[in-house]
Amino acid sequence: MSSKPQALSSIGPMRAFASNSKKISTELIEINDDLIEFNQYLTEYYKQLADTWSVAQKKTNLKVPEVPQDVEQIEAFKRIWIDIFDNDYTELFDSEKFGENYGKLVSKELELTKHWNNITNVILQSVNLPSKEEIDEVYKEMHSLKKRVAKLELELKKEVKKNAK
Amino acid sequence: MQSESRIDPKIVEEILKFSKNVIDAPKLVSAPDEISLEVTPHDVVQQIDKTRLLHYRPLTEKRHKTPLLISYALINRYHILDIQPEKSWVRNLLLQGFDVYMLDWGTPTSMDKYLDFDDYVNGYLDSSVEYIKNESSTEKISLQGYCTGGTIATTYAALHPESVKNYIATAPVIDGWRDTTVISNLAKHMDVDKMVDTIGNMPPEFMYYCFSVLKPFEQGIEKYVKFFKNIDNKQFVDSFLRVEKWLGDTPPIPGELFKQWIKDIYQKNLLIQNKMYVGGEHIDLKKIDMPVFTQIAVGDHLVSPECSMPLHYAVGSDDKTLRMYPTGHVGMIASSLSQKKVLPELGQWLSERS
């Protein structure tokens, strides 16, 4: 009789949420740390883009020193501008330094997503809903079952064919 | 005193005309929803999960005996091979008397994140081949793989040579280490395990980012300038919008499949080294012993010629042909060049073997 109020609170959403609130705080602290690193990579990303722009623009200015005066000149200027910029940016995107920084930028972004997923999981569990991992398990099971069914169907087909002969 | 202006009046005229075209554009062009990319009539003859096997209706009375199945890429959708009647790869082949099937990979959802290479090669593609063999009462079919569909079709041809009479590899992704494109650089630095574990399927948005770094100024500025300049040209506008609609419609790629593709092709380069496994089975390119026709675009900035070409030298076939065309990745399959040069050459090669 005396345990009844405790039992009630142990199944309510607030109880579950309160017991996991520490997890949320930890995730938020880690998000903060990751955000700092994410911003470093993002700054480097935009720096690389800006530096390339500046070099490409200088190259264009050297090639086309005068302001275009007629339609043909504008067309020619545009062609040179596009060619130089496309070449320089392709060189950047193809470089080790860009690939490495971009890889780290995406990786940090994924870590931020992971934290967000973890926070969402805490909230989902507090209202007795399945977490992402639990849903993934269902998907995995379904995939494996489908594979087994397909294999069995194939074997059955072969058997039917064999018997028909 | 009269001041002398050095600005050519034609420049002003051009600017005004261009501005008018931009303003008129919404009145002159169709909304993307109004454009149908289903061009050549076909029937959906088989559906497994989200994939569909399309069978195009014949356009000639006389047909070659061996049917052709096209394995389209994992990026964007098959519509580019049938984008409009005068540039349609499929229609051209039908007019040459071939019996054409297309495998539409469909649009995977979150629950498909565990689909892998094995499901695509030994599941969907194999089921399609078996269906066609039954329908056409043939022991073997001709198989064409385009781009990443070429990677899938290549592994299929190596695992099931008994079902493939002729293999056509069109800009296939084969040798990741030799690939000189920006895509390969991004792929090499990707933490693909973390990506798939965190977000599941490869989202279209990431693909759009990858496309945006390919010739960003030509594709991001010049292309649209040309579009507005030609806004009165109905044929140009129709063609442009169709390709734009196609470009904007890329389905997600199942996580496990994407993971294996990036790791085995771009990061470890296993396929060309004959070290790749699909569904536990070893892929040996030497087992591709049927006639092979490899098509490469010299100006391909998505799959560089160096990435595709090694297939020609790696297969075990004695009857193999390599053709290079002065065009790009899409130009090879949907352009006037493809209609005038690429397809007639393919048709001749295939008809001699069908």
Contact B185 A95 (CB under 8 A): yes
Q: Quote the CA–CA distance of B97 and B59 in Å, as a whole number.
A: 7
Give the dihedral sign, CA B299/B70/B172/B32.
Answer: positive
| Nearest-CA distance B343 → chain A (Å) | 31
pLDDT at A84: 96
Give residue B8's pLDDT band: very low, low, confident or very high (50, 70, 90).
confident
Give residue B1's pLDDT band: very low, low, confident or very high (50, 70, 90).
very low
Q: What is the mean pLDDT of residues A43-53?
A: 97
Which of the two residues, B6 and B299, has the higher pLDDT score?
B299
Contact A93 B182 (CB under 8 A): yes
pLDDT of B91 higher than 90: yes
Q: What is the mean pLDDT of residues A66-86?
A: 86
Residue B53: phi and psi, rounded to 5, are -100, 120
A66 in contact with chain B, both atoms CB, cutoff 8 A = no
Residues of A in contact with B198 (CB under 8 A): 110, 113-114, 117
Residues of A in contact with B14 (CB under 8 A): 71, 74
Q: What is the mean pLDDT of residues A74-89?
A: 92
CATH domain B40-203+252-351 topology: Rossmann fold (3.40.50)
Q: What is the mean pLDDT of chain B?
A: 93
| Nearest-CA distance B113 → chain A (Å) | 8
Number of helices (H) and strands (E), helices first, in chain B?
16, 10
Which sequence positions of B are flagged as catalytic? 147, 300, 329
| Nearest-CA distance A124 → chain B (Å) | 17
pLDDT at A12: 66
Chain B residue whose CA is closest to A107: B191
| A108-141 per-position pLDDT tens digit | 999 999 999 999 998 888 888 999 999 999 999 9
pLDDT at A122: 87
Give residue A2's pLDDT band: very low, low, confident or very high (50, 70, 90).
low
- List chain B domain ranges: 40-203+252-351
| B311-336 per-position pLDDT tens digit | 999 999 999 999 999 999 999 999 99
Q: How far apart are the first and last CA of chain A?
A: 74
pLDDT of B304 higher than 80: yes
B318, with CB counted inside 10 A (0-12, 13-18, 19+), is: exposed
Q: Helical H runs in B265-331?
A: 305-308, 310-314
Q: What is the mean pLDDT of residues A53-68?
A: 88
DSSP per-residue codes, B91-136: HHHHHTT--EEEEE-----GGGTT--HHIIIIIIIHHHHHHHHHHH
| B131-187 per-position pLDDT tens digit | 999 999 999 999 999 999 999 999 999 999 999 999 999 999 999 999 988 989 999
Give residue B305's pLDDT band: very low, low, confident or very high (50, 70, 90).
very high
Q: Quote the CA–CA distance of B354 and B348 in Å, as a whole number.
A: 10
pLDDT of A14 higher than 80: no
| B228-261 per-position pLDDT tens digit | 999 989 889 988 999 989 998 899 999 999 999 9
Give residue A10's pLDDT band: very low, low, confident or very high (50, 70, 90).
low
Q: Would you state the structure tokens that stand for residue B134, as one six-digit string?
A: 């039954």
Give residue B29's pLDDT band: very low, low, confident or very high (50, 70, 90).
confident
pLDDT of A1 higher than 70: no
A11, with CB counted inside 10 A (0-12, 13-18, 19+), is: exposed
pLDDT at A9: 63
Q: Which of A93, A99, A114 sits opposite B188 (nearest CB)?
A: A99
